[in-house]
A and B are shown apart, each in its own frame.
Chain A
Amino acid sequence: MATIRGSADNAASALRPKPRLKNLARRAAVFTVGFALHLGLFWPARNGLGTRTDALDSAPTRRLVANQRRNSKRCANTVRPGAGALVPVTSGGRGSPHDRYRLRMNRVRFSGRRKVCVTAARTARHEPITGANMIRGRIWIGLILIVAATGISALIASAQEPGPLADPKSQSQVGFPAELYSWVIPADNPQTPAKIALGKQLFFEDGLSGDGKVSCDQCHGPAKGFTDQLPTSMGIHGQFGQRNAPTILNALFSTTQFWDGRAATLEDQAKQPILNPIEMGVKSPQEAVAKIKAIPGYSDQFLKVFGHDVNYDDMARAIASYERTQIAFDTPFDHYMAGDQSAIGDDAKRGWSIFNGKGRCMSCHGWNPTQPLFSEFKFHNIGVSAHKSDFVPLARKALALLASGSTPLDIDKLAIQTDMSGLGRFLVTKQPHDIGSFRTMGLRNLLVTQPYFHDGSQPTLWDTLDHYNKGGVQNPYLDGGIVPLGLSESEEDDLVAFLATLTSPEYEAMAKEEYDAQFKRSRTDRPQRDTEAAMGLKGRNGPGLGGPFGDIGPDQDQMGENPALLGGD
């Protein structure tokens, strides 16, 4: 009955996760040391003292050169010698010990996006071996070793630092809702610098997991908008869950946490992934406490901050405290609403107008100066999981299971690990109208928190808009507010341009890159688009059920009677 999605299911759509920086550094270190040893010990022996090879135009050399050319064609992006990567210099043919190192290099990706194929790039450099050369060779080896060691230790050192994106953010950002902020800080967990520092440490603490390798930032990495930019997240032992990791940015302002609102506060939320068997995999709160106690320094910190030793509730409080420092405003849109007419372009202004009018976005993704989060924090079935799940038998199953009495962790397991995840809010409230309903998410920094929706099924913003434009996916519980919208291509482009202005400055560069990539993709690859349905043309020509359809309003220039200017504010 419960099926755990294996990594195989995700292979097609998932990007392989970026290896931990520390793991990379470790591997690189191992490699360098081994390589250095090999060079120092085996290379001369392999070639043998006194082995002479002729000049560069010898047959072996010509073969080598030909190999290089051939190999560099095999791989689109070849790191050529001298480009900074560690490339083995070898004279051996295939099957030599050098090949092992070469192959290992091939498996390592340096950046999460493009495969960097390090081919068997062999140099044509081939010097005759003489005694003098040997000495020179060993001097070079020594130098390389020293440089490498420095570099790698620097890598390791930097890998341990979360980076500036993880720092607590300033509250003097344009658009920051000070009033709302004062409402959401709980009385029993006020912010203090020491608590925030402790929380940050815990957030990045690998030891807080079953195998000592997973920390919160694996799924909520600061460099990736506090998400992992994967469709669904990977936890302990490479297991994948059912839900997309929401961003920590501005999470403090939400009225509930998780896609189905099963946690009321950030404190409640922090306690759940730690204990989930496929997320961080700690068996019990006691075990988590023991793990943290075993790491030097924590006990003292807990004593200083909370006045008593490590305990699970306080751990959650500290983590929540750190998370409450992750606020992200100061966007071009915030500047525009503050009065700077030039802060956003005309396309974004049109998009904002459509957002308020024809797009019907504002009714759920509401924005106002007091609560500028682009969400009313309610739950709606917009038909995302409908195309994967058959709701009726699923709900039957769920009702029976839950009737036997459920603790929050049971819901957590159902939500993350089983195919009942698609039932959404229903798992929490057990109300029929909540079947397939998920929380309205905010719209800030979308271009660094892709892919989208609770299952990460939509990789680009254009895909999400196509989903809405055609009226979602029909299912018996589809919210009646989801109707075909009749947006044209340029209107969708304008909407995305508007959404792009909701990016905070620290993510601007990454967002721009992502926008360009998504834009390019959107010109050719639009699997969700259904123009007939969007324009209300699908209509009923005869008997037969299925397919969205509805009435589209008359064509009207959105900027003429600009709905963005309607009403107060």
Chain B
Amino acid sequence: MSPKLNRNTLAAAAGIAILGAIVILPVALRAQQQQPTHPVPAAKDGGTVVMLCDGKTSIEIKNLKPGQQATEQQGRAVANELMAKWQQQHPGEHWETAQAAALSPEANASPTAPAKSKPAAASGQQQGDTYASFTSRDYKVWQTETQKFVDEGKRVFHDSKALGGTIGVSCDMCHPDGSNTHPETYPKYQVQLQRVALLRDMIDWCIENPVKGPTLSPNDAKLRALEAYILAQRKGVPLDYGKH
């Protein structure tokens, strides 16, 4: 009795397993991937509807009956048409970043995500990498560079030797944290200079007089860094030129 029963049982078990796999596996996979399901619109002309996985863009291939195999040319044409259609809906965007953004877990947390930097004009096509189209990666690079510039200014601000001063006086002695510099009030008539000045002109005057260093050219890297640091300390303060 055992040999016949064993074989049959094995076969039955294998069948059940396979069936189970067929049934369970997609479910399991689905659970893992959590792919969104997009309802595909019904075909109007009896063709096949192909939809992009954004769940919105779709196209109907008229001559292709469901179950029929499409040719390579047909496939390519369909792909091109779908892409064109998608780009019409999303002018100026890159499909790779859109896809990555949609799939990435930080999709919600990303700062100026490309979605936010859409140009205002909804009509008209704007294509290519225009000024406003920067990515979060770009932004990160820019922030880092700006901070380096400001930090360089901070370094020079606090160091009399870096300023070129000859008497051991540095800016932070009278302006801790850049206080009492009022960069938002420039341009204004600067009484020490007896002329209308910009912030960097007054910085230069201070370098010459209280700090006793050689005056820097307006394009000097250190002077510009100092200006950057001072302006950075006044983020959010409204501009008020000419205020005394």
Contact = CB atoms under 8 A, between A and B. Distances in A.
Query: CB atoms of A and B under 8 A apart anywhere in the complex?
Result: yes
B196 interface: yes
Contact of A556 (B201, B209, B214): B214
A367 B215 CA distance: 21
Contacts of B209: 360, 553
Interface string A424-458: 00000000000000000000000000000000000
Contacts of B189: 368
A554 B213 contact: yes
B197 interface: yes
Interface in B188-233: 189-198, 201, 204-205, 208-209, 212-217
- Among A363, A367, A368, A566: residue with most chain B CB under 10 A: A566
A299 to B, nearest CB: 48
Nearest to A561: B215
B166 interface: yes
Contacts of A563: 208, 215
Contact of A368 (B195, B208, B216): B195
Given A554-B214, A563-B215, A366 B194 contact: yes
A357 B208 contact: yes
A363 B193 contact: yes
B191 to A, nearest CB: 7
A292 interface: no
A567 B192 CA distance: 12
B212 A368 contact: no
A163 interface: no
Interface in B172-189: 187, 189
Given A554-B164, A567-B197, A363 B212 contact: no
A568 B191 contact: no
B77 interface: no
Given A376-B191, A552-B212, A553-B166, A566 B217 contact: no
A568 B194 contact: no
A566 B213 contact: no
A362 interface: yes
B28 interface: no
Contact of A551 (B166, B192, B194, B215): B166
Given A551-B166, A554-B166, A362 B193 contact: yes
B52 interface: no
Interface string A71-91: 000000000000000000000
A569 interface: yes
B167 interface: yes
B201 A566 contact: yes
Nearest to A558: B215
Contact of B215 (A362, A376, A556, A569): A556
A553 B212 CA distance: 5
Contacts of B212: 551-554
B194 A362 contact: yes
A367 B216 CA distance: 23
Nearest to A361: B194
B191 A363 contact: yes
Interface string B149-172: 000000000000000101100000
Contacts of B215: 357, 556, 561, 563
Given A357-B208, A553-B208, A554-B166, A363 B213 contact: no
A567 B193 contact: yes
Contacts of A552: 212
Contacts of A356: 193
Nearest to A564: B195
A189 to B, nearest CB: 29
Interface string A342-384: 0000000000000011101011001110000000100000000
Nearest to B217: A561
A551 B191 contact: no
Contacts of B205: 566
A552 B213 CA distance: 10
Contact of B195 (A357, A551, A566): A566
A344 B33 CA distance: 84
Contacts of B166: 551, 553-554
B214 A568 contact: no
A556 B212 CA distance: 11
Given A553-B166, A556-B215, A561-B217, A569 B195 contact: yes
A363 B217 contact: no
A554 B201 CA distance: 19
Scoring A357, A553, A567 by chain B CB atoms within 10 A of each residue's CB, the highest score goes to: A567
Given A551-B167, A563-B215, A367 B194 contact: yes
B196 A569 contact: yes
Contact of A566 (B187, B191, B204): B204
Contacts of B208: 357-358, 553, 563
Contacts of A366: 191, 194-195
Given A360-B209, A554-B214, A556-B214, A568 B164 contact: no
Contacts of A368: 189, 194-196
B197 A566 contact: yes
Contacts of A367: 194
Nearest to B189: A368
Given A554-B213, A561-B217, A363 B194 contact: yes
A563 B206 CA distance: 12
A363 B193 CA distance: 6
A547 B193 CA distance: 28
Given A362-B193, A363-B192, A567 B201 contact: yes
A368 B201 CA distance: 16
A361 to B, nearest CB: 9
Nearest to B166: A554
A357 B215 CA distance: 9
B46 to A, nearest CB: 77
A360 B167 CA distance: 18
Nearest to B190: A567
B170 to A, nearest CB: 14
Interface of A: 356-358, 360, 362-363, 366-368, 376, 551-554, 556, 561, 563, 566-569
Instruction: Name the 7 nearest CB pairs between A and B, nearest first.
Output: A366-B194, A568-B196, A567-B197, A567-B201, A553-B212, A561-B215, A567-B195
29 contacts: A357-B215, A362-B195, A363-B193, A366-B191, A366-B195, A367-B194, A551-B167, A551-B212, A553-B166, A553-B214, A554-B164, A554-B166, A554-B212, A554-B213, A561-B204, A561-B215, A561-B216, A561-B217, A563-B208, A566-B193, A566-B195, A566-B201, A567-B195, A567-B198, A567-B201, A568-B187, A568-B196, A568-B197, A568-B198
Interface of B: 164, 166-167, 187, 189-198, 201, 204-205, 208-209, 212-217
